[in-house]
């Protein structure tokens, strides 16, 4: 049985333009790049670039880069992930199974979340 087709890396390949305006401020405030320090994150914008090239490529006929990120930020605001985790007795600083976190997030998204564990993460 075949699963749903994932929308990623659609053709033609996109270019990513570094943000330097209000969108940069909004992304820095609401879509934090946690794997690098803030100065590098703002200079290289690696996490945002990756997401745009991977997923934004599939809606390029309808949305430009700025609109794609505006919509992503609005969608993010529809879900209070920290509150959802608290409701399911998941609090920062403690350890939980992957399944417990996965199931908690799924209660609000109604879809299987794309969550990955990183070995050695704090």
Of 97, 102, 93, 100, nearest to 122 (Cα)?
Answer: 93
CB atoms within 10 A of CB 6: 10
Both 28 and 67 in one domain: the answer is yes
Both 73 and 93 in one domain: the answer is no
Both 85 and 47 in one domain: the answer is no
Q: What is the pLDDT of residue 3?
A: 47
Both 74 and 84 in one domain: the answer is no
**Contacts of residue 8, Cβ cutoff 8 Å, sequence gap at least 6:** 54, 55, 57, 58
Q: What is the pLDDT of residue 32?
A: 84
- Cα distances (angstroms) measured from residue 46 to each of 15, 100, 122: 13, 29, 21
Structural domains in the chain (count): 2
For 90, the domain range is: 79-116
Q: What is the pLDDT of residue 6?
A: 66
Q: What is the pLDDT of residue 11?
A: 92
Both 31 and 73 in one domain: the answer is yes
pTM flag (> 0.85): no
Q: What is the pLDDT of residue 50?
A: 94
Both 112 and 94 in one domain: the answer is yes
Instruction: State how far the Cα of 94 lies from the Cα of 2, in Å rounded to an integer.
Output: 36
Low-confidence ranges of the chain (pLDDT < 70): 1-6, 116-122
Structural domain includes residue 68? yes
Instruction: State how far the Cα of 47 lies from the Cα of 5, in Å rounded to an integer.
Output: 23
């Amino acid at each position: 049985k075949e699963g749903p087709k994932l929308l990623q890396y659609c053709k033609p390949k996109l270019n990513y333009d570094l943000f330097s305006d209000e969108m940069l401020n909004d992304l820095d405030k609401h879509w934090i790049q946690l794997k690098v320090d803030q100065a590098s994150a703002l200079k290289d914008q690696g996490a945002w670039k990756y997401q745009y090239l991977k997923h934004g490529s599939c809606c390029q006929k309808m949305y430009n880069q700025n609109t794609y990120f505006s919509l992503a930020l609005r969608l993010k605001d529809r879900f209070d992930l920290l509150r959802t985790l608290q409701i399911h007795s998941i609090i920062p600083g403690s350890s939980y199974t992957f399944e417990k976190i996965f199931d908690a997030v799924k209660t609000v998204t109604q879809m299987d979340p794309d969550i990955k564990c990183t070995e050695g993460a704090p």
